[in-house]
Chains A and B, each alone.
Chain A
Amino acid sequence: MFIHWALKEIHLKIVYYGPGLCGKTANLQYIYTRIDPALKGDLITLKTREDRTIFFDFLQLEVGQIDEKKPKFNLYTVPGQINYNHTRKVVLNGVDGLVFVADSQKEMMDANLDTLLDLEKHLIADGKSLEEFPWVLQYNKRDLPNIESIQEMETKLNFFNVPSFEAVATRGTGVFPTLKEVIKQVVAKVQQQIEEGKRMRA
């Protein structure tokens, strides 16, 4: 989180993380098409000629003023392909909350878990962990055949019992509930830190 007191801006960075082709960019594209133009910036996508994210996608959202303060949500995606490990680390810099987008297709279960462990590795290197960090799970592509059951996905991926959502990001199903929840988790985490700080001082 970054606070600009002079401009009364509160910046929060949310990163969409997940294996290649799981639908991270689709989440941002849907949000971009549905938000009032006055509340959003450009959707930046840095991709290869094959239409794969090479660095990140970025979208800044606003919700107007709250008590004269302007919250701004900076949404990023990471490239999902295995060889962009260092790029993912770069995009995670300054992250406040995470959406892990899991691909519901049965053959993607190993990739989902490997990517989640890769995320945990980056967080641990920075003194954080999935156990304490604000994040949510999105089970995407629920419209495809040959998908894993939600119960099985919860067992395999949601070992910290974080909020989870079923989604079809290309149609927008589950996209906004996921985003709202991760923002809620981030704000709750900040409040928790404030309360802990007060207790320490008392």
Chain B
Amino acid sequence: MSENASISHTQYDQVIACLTELLKKLRLKAVLVVNSSGRIIAEKIRQKTSMETTTLATLASGSYAAAAEMARQLGEHNHFKMMLHEGHKQNVFISSITDDFFLIIVFETDVALGMVRLFAKRTMVQLNPILSEKPKNQFAELFDQHFQGLLNEKLDQAFLDE
């Protein structure tokens, strides 16, 4: 269970730049950086592609976490390096960037897997130092009494029948 964590503006911009570069090099449908709890850190989707990325990230994080536990049970010291889900029309490639973050690539089956692995590896080498940096948390700015009051009001509005 991870402690409170965050991603800074600078980190986000750097991650987006890496994903944009990857999308230029390969004909991918989508590329996402997700944390181990399934929250999307950054995503780039090819134009005209429609995808429910929150669901994709949540399911991929479950799959990733299950594989990590499988590795542990089998006596592997680290996560499995990569996972590949092969479909008839598209594939999903998942690979670890750091202990807390992983990369998801969705691509059509006519794109060579070797190319995807090659460029994904280069991107992960770029992403690793960016995501290894721990930004200074400023949670105090967010969670004051004013915020809690407004949150309670919003919860009451959202849960209409109570």
Contact = CB atoms under 8 A, between A and B. Distances in A.
Given A3-B139, A190-B143, A94 B37 contact: yes
A117 interface: no
Nearest to A42: B55
Interface residues of B, number: 48
Interface in B138-162: 139-140, 142-143, 146-148, 150-152, 154-162
Interface in B48-75: 52, 54-55, 58-59, 62, 65-66, 68-69, 73
A121 interface: no
Closest 4 CB pairs of A and B: A94-B37, A6-B12, A63-B154, A3-B6
A87 B69 CA distance: 9
Nearest to A30: B161
Contacts of A86: 69, 73
A189 B129 CA distance: 31
A11 B160 CA distance: 22
Contacts of B152: 180, 184
Given A6-B12, A63-B154, A172 B55 contact: no
B66 A87 contact: yes
Nearest to B100: A94
B58 A3 contact: no
Interface residues of A, number: 56
A200 interface: no
Contact of B143 (A36, A91, A92, A194): A194
Given A35-B158, A41-B54, A63-B157, A90 B6 contact: no
B96 interface: no
A93 B36 contact: yes
Interface in A46-91: 46, 55-56, 58, 60-61, 63-64, 66-67, 69, 71, 74, 86-87, 89-91
Contacts of A7: 12
B39 A11 contact: yes
Given A34-B159, A90-B69, A194-B140, A4 B154 contact: no
A86 B37 CA distance: 16
A163 to B, nearest CB: 15
Given A44-B58, A74-B37, 15 more contacts: A2-B6, A5-B8, A5-B9, A10-B142, A11-B37, A44-B55, A58-B58, A66-B147, A67-B146, A90-B66, A93-B36, A176-B161, A188-B148, A190-B139, A194-B143
